[in-house]
């Protein structure tokens, strides 16, 4: 009898251990079920500010609650609200009148012209100049503004860039440079003192020869470029060019032929303009859950849960803008991974706690993670490592990219010790911890980071990024690896010490690369992509850089650079490009309530 009871007791104990193990194992079906919910047609692509993103946030919060995770200490719930400018629409008061030879011509809004979505609102009047493609590119020895004065005037420019169909063009052959973008033309016009910019719609010899105005909202750019900005049909101004003895086709062909400017001022021409763009400011939420440990130190495991909604200007399939971009891999896959890891760790006894974070607003510029990093619900000084999961659902050929391994003195060694026990082939893609995803916001706060990413694919930012293309079994392998490194970091006797690593050239997050590709001299700041009301906030300043040597610090907001007012990152890009290594530039910043002016000596970009 006793032997039988012992056997039953042993069997029951083993069953309990099996049940615990099953509860803490990863399940590909359950993982994909989360993705099916988040990337369903009903979620309409989870655009930041949409009701569907709010529903997705509530779904994530419900999962955290079911796992009996707590809100962050002191918080009243799982949601951390913040405000974002989510969209813009054309207002009612948009007018354009051109006076030439004493005769005034009023143009029709939405037919002859319309505002660009990043335009400022307001009224202005002034003369008119033609400035070619509106490009100043010292790196190509090209400047449409050479020999003309645009200050206080309106500038009319061609769309795209010179020689765009010439594979031998200095403008990267047939690939577009950033100078071709409409926001770049607006920023450059502003840098030259213009009151407004008018971008002429594509000409017949351009790749995009569609004879109509581009849909409002399709162009990238800041929330407000700080300059009146329109696009216009070229036919509407053909009479103006003829009166000046010019043909637009000839001007364009001449510039494309020899890359020499054909810019000029329209004599006796005055422009009166009124632009109204209405912007929607909405409250959105990060979703935050807390699993306590024995100490006040903790890990962060995070992912963004927003996507593109109906695509709009960020779609990689422009002809399908207006249809649902489900974002299964980007980033329902990372969000589902956070939920699976939360389930795995729930109920475990931990040395350090784990904060589970899902962010809104990543696709609009790391807005949610930037907001959290600047308004943390727990002290960032106690954060041991931030683990970011962005697009982890489509591992191909067993390859997984891991970024940020150089940001903590023990991270690479910890990974190297456990990777041989896993089937994945790890590529340490970028050690710096800077990039185009949410870990960047924590690197800037000197928190060590690890970024897990299964790579880009042909469905990126397209309606075809659907749940059925997720590789469940390989995603589980990613989760096993992430859980093991998280456990190792959680139990380690010593936390990793932050190490500052220089970003690779052109890495998103390095000075002005998001709007300029890294051209111009070195300044040394890392921008905070959440725009302040005016200026460029520094998320970080690189040690030993010109900015650091001048005494500039993380958190400073640049408002002037030399003789240029700086309202946004795009302004800074063009102000920086107008200088060269060795120049000493007077820079004004806001540090809290104090305004500081320092001289920064620019150096060569390495």
Rounded percentage of the chain residues whose pLDDT exceeds 90? 71
Instruction: Say if residue 327 is in the same domain as residue 469.
Output: yes
Quote the number of domains for the chain. Answer: 3
Least confident of 12-16, 36-40, 309-313: 12-16
- As a whole number of angstroms, the longest Cα–Cα distance in the chain is 114
Q: Which residue has the tokens 């200088």?
A: 579
Per-residue confidence (pLDDT) for residue 528, from 0 to 100:
79
13 Cα distance to chain centroid: 51
In a domain, 344, yes or no: yes
Q: Do the Cβ atoms of 358 and 337 come closer than 8 Å?
A: no
Q: Do the Cβ atoms of 425 and 369 come closer than 8 Å?
A: no
Q: Rounded distance, CA 57 to CA 51, Å?
A: 10
96: preceding bond cis by omega (within 30 degrees): no
Per-residue confidence (pLDDT) for residue 203, from 0 to 100:
61
CATH code where residue 29 lies: 3.40.630.10
Instruction: Say if residue 257 is in the same domain as residue 114.
Output: yes
In a domain, 224, yes or no: yes
Per-residue confidence (pLDDT) for residue 12, from 0 to 100:
34
pLDDT band, residue 19 (cuts 50/70/90): very low
Closest by Cα among 557, 525, 528 to 544: 525
CATH code where residue 564 lies: 2.30.42.10
Q: Rounded distance, CA 158 to CA 240, Å?
A: 15
Instruction: Say if residue 388 is in the same domain as residue 426.
Output: yes
In a domain, 1, yes or no: no
Q: Which two tokens stand for residue 215?
A: 């849909």
pLDDT band, residue 519 (cuts 50/70/90): low
In a domain, 3, yes or no: no
Per-residue confidence (pLDDT) for residue 23, from 0 to 100:
40
Instruction: Say if residue 70 is in the same domain as residue 209.
Output: no
Cα angle, residue 450 at apex, residues 449 and 454 outer, rounded to 5°: 150
Instruction: Say if residue 469 is in the same domain as residue 556.
Output: no
Rounded percentage of the chain residues whose pLDDT exceeds 70? 90
Per-residue confidence (pLDDT) for residue 219, from 0 to 100:
66
In a domain, 232, yes or no: yes
Per-residue confidence (pLDDT) for residue 574, from 0 to 100:
84
> What letter does residue 85 receive in the DSSP assignment?
E
Q: Rounded distance, CA 450 to CA 151, Å?
A: 47
SS3 content of the chain, % helix, strand, coil (to 5): 30, 25, 45
CATH code where residue 235 lies: 3.50.30.30
Q: Rounded distance, CA 114 to CA 92, Å?
A: 11
Instruction: Say if residue 311 is in the same domain as residue 444.
Output: yes
Question: How large is the average pLDDT for residues 470-494?
Answer: 97
Instruction: Say if residue 252 is in the same domain as residue 168.
Output: yes
Instruction: Say if residue 333 is in the same domain as residue 472.
Output: yes
Question: How large is the average pLDDT for residues 463-473?
Answer: 97
pTM: 0.78
Q: Which two tokens stand for residue 316?
A: 């990689």
Secondary structure of 472-494 in HEC code, one letter for each residue: HHHHHHHHHHHHHHHHHHHHCCC
Per-residue confidence (pLDDT) for residue 58, from 0 to 100:
98
Instruction: Say if residue 118 is in the same domain as residue 61.
Output: no
Per-residue confidence (pLDDT) for residue 106, from 0 to 100:
97
In a domain, 113, yes or no: yes
pLDDT band, residue 17 (cuts 50/70/90): very low
- Quote the domain boundaries for residue 199: 92-275
Last residue in a domain, options 275, 301, 329: 275
- HSE toward the beta carbon, residue 297, CA cutoff 13 A: 15
In a domain, 19, yes or no: no
Question: How large is the average pLDDT for residues 145-165?
Answer: 94
pLDDT band, residue 166 (cuts 50/70/90): confident
Q: What is the pLDDT of residues 116-131, one digit of tens each?
A: 989 999 999 999 999 9
| DSSP per-residue string spanning 261-279 | ---EE-TTEEEEEEE-EEE
Per-residue confidence (pLDDT) for residue 315, from 0 to 100:
82
pLDDT band, residue 467 (cuts 50/70/90): very high
Instruction: Say if residue 266 is in the same domain as residue 346.
Output: no
Per-residue confidence (pLDDT) for residue 240, from 0 to 100:
95
Q: Rounded distance, CA 303 to CA 286, Å?
A: 10
pLDDT band, residue 6 (cuts 50/70/90): very low
Instruction: Say if residue 128 is in the same domain as residue 270.
Output: yes
Last residue in a domain, options 275, 294, 309: 275
Question: How large is the average pLDDT for residues 133-157?
Answer: 95
Secondary structure of 87-111 in HEC code, one letter for each residue: EEEECCCCEEEEEECCEEEEECECC
* Secondary structure class of 54 (helix, strand, coil): helix
Helical H segments across 351-471, by residue range: 367-374, 411-418, 439-443
In a domain, 508, yes or no: no
Q: What is the pLDDT of residues 426-454, one digit of tens each?
A: 999 888 888 889 999 999 999 999 999 99
Per-residue confidence (pLDDT) for residue 220, from 0 to 100:
67
Question: How large is the average pLDDT for residues 21-25?
Answer: 51
Instruction: Say if residue 270 is in the same domain as residue 299.
Output: no
Q: What is the pLDDT of residues 353-370, one digit of tens each?
A: 999 999 999 998 899 999
Whether the predicted pLDDT of 475 surpasses 80: yes
């Amino acid at each position: 009898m006793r032997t039988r009871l012992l056997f039953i007791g042993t069997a029951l104990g083993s069953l309990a251990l099996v049940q615990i193990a099953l509860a803490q194992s990863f399940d590909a079906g359950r993982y994909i079920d989360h993705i099916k919910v988040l990337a369903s047609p009903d979620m309409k692509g989870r655009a930041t500010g949409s009701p569907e993103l709010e529903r997705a946030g509530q779904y994530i919060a419900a999962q955290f609650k079911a796992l009996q995770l707590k809100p962050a200490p002191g918080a009243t719930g799982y949601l951390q609200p913040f405000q974002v400018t989510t969209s813009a629409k054309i207002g009612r008061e948009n007018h354009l009148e051109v006076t030439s030879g004493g005769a005034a011509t009023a143009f029709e809004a939405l037919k002859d012209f319309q505002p660009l979505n990043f335009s400022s609102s307001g009224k202005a009047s002034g003369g008119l100049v033609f400035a070619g493609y509106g490009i100043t590119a010292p790196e190509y020895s090209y400047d449409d503004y050479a020999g003309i004065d645009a200050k206080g005037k309106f500038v009319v420019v061609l769309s795209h860039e010179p020689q765009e169909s010439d594979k031998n063009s200095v403008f990267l052959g047939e690939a577009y440079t950033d100078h071709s973008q409409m926001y770049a033309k607006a920023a450059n016009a502003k840098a030259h003192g213009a009151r407004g910019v008018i971008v002429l719609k594509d000409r017949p010899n351009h790749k995009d020869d569609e004879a109509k105005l581009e849909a409002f909202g399709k162009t990238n750019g800041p929330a407000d470029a700080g300059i009146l900005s329109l696009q216009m049909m070229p036919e509407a101004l053909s009479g103006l060019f003829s009166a000046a003895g010019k043909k637009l086709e000839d001007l364009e062909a001449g510039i494309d032929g020899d890359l020499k400017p054909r810019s000029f001022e329209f004599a006796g021409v005055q422009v009166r303009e009124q632009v109204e763009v209405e912007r929607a400011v909405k409250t959105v939420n990060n979703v935050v859950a807390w699993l306590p440990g024995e100490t006040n130190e903790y890990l962060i495991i995070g992912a963004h849960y927003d996507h593109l909604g109906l695509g709009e200007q960020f779609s990689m399939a422009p002809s399908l803008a207006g249809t649902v971009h489900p974002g299964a891999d980007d980033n329902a896959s990372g969000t589902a991974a956070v939920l699976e890891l939360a389930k795995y760790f729930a109920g475990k006894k931990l040395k350090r706690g784990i904060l589970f974070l899902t962010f809104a607003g990543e696709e609009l510029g790391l807005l949610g993670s930037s907001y959290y990093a600047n308004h943390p619900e727990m002290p960032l000084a106690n954060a041991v490592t931030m683990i970011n999961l962005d697009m982890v659902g489509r591992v191909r050929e067993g390859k997984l990219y891991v970024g940020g391994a150089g940001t903590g003195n023990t991270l690479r060694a910890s990974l190297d010790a456990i990777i041989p026990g896993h089937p994945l082939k790890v590529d340490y893609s970028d050690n710096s911890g800077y990039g185009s995803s949410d870990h960047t916001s924590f690197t800037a706060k000197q928190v060590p980071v690890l970024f897990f990413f299964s790579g880009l694919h042909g469905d990126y930012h397209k309606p075809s990024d659907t749940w059925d293309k997720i590789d469940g079994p390989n995603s589980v392998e990613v989760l096993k690896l992430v859980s093991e490194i998280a456990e190792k970091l959680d139990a380690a006797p010593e936390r990793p010490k932050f190490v500052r690593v220089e970003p690779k050239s052109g890495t998103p997050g390095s000075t002005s690369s998001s709007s300029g590709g890294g051209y111009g001299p070195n300044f040394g700041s890392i921008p905070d992509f959440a725009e302040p009301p005016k200026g460029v906030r520094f998320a970080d300043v690189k040690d030993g850089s010109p900015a650091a040597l001048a005494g500039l610090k993380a958190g400073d907001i640049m408002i002037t650079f030399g003789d240029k007012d700086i309202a946004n990152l795009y302004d800074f890009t063009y102000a920086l490009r107008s200088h060269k290594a060795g120049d000493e530039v007077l820079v004004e910043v806001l540090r809290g309530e104090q305004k500081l002016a320092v001289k920064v000596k620019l150096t060569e970009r390495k």
